[in-house]
């Protein structure tokens, strides 16, 4: 499941979700998540001003797992494109990898590894 998580993470990092400028829309990263959560009832809600929520449910889960998808702004000190995930030995680097697109990628991979009830 590690490779699937890293594949999802690479895709999630490629989406520019910096905040500010808080310019996220209901497409882009949310289209990717819709396409990669088969069997889920997915609802994307635009709250305005760049605030968008995704709610994905399969079955009748008892718990909801929550993550955010926006990132801090990038820095001029990046030595490579921050929206291209790089594998460096036993770690990965990219904007949002640790906070918190890595957790989002793991949730998508886990959702695809089972058919049980789940909510994100």
Q: Average pLDDT in the 111-116 region?
A: 96
Domains of the chain, residue spans: 2-119
Using CA atoms, how far apart are residues 18 and 101, in angstroms rounded to an integer?
Answer: 12
Q: What is the pLDDT of residue 22?
A: 87
Residue whose entry in the numeric block shows the structure tokens 């990898």: 97
The percent of residues in the chain predicted with pLDDT above 70, rounded, is 100
Coil, helix or strand for 6?
helix
Check residue 89 and give its pLDDT.
Answer: 94
Q: Are 115 and 37 in contact (CB under 8 A)?
A: no
What does CATH list as the number for 2-119? 3.40.630.10
Question: What is the overall mean pLDDT for the chain?
Answer: 96
Buried b (16+ CB within 10 A) or exposed e, 52-80: bebebbbeeeeeeeeeebbbeeeeeeeee
Q: How far apart are CA 70 and CA 23, in angstroms?
A: 10
């Amino acid at each position: 499941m590690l490779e699937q998580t890293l594949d999802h993470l690479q895709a999630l990092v490629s989406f520019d979700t910096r905040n500010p400028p808080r310019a996220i829309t209901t497409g882009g990263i949310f289209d990717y998540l819709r396409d990669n959560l088969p069997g889920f009832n997915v609802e994307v809600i635009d709250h305005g001003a760049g605030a968008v929520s995704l709610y994905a449910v399969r079955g009748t889960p008892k718990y909801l797992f929550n993550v955010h998808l926006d990132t801090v702004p990038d820095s001029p000190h990046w030595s490579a494109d921050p929206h291209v995930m790089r594998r460096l030995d036993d770690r990965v680097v990219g904007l949002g990898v640790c906070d918190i697109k890595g957790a989002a990628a793991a949730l998508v991979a886990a959702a695809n590894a089972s058919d049980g009830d789940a909510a994100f």
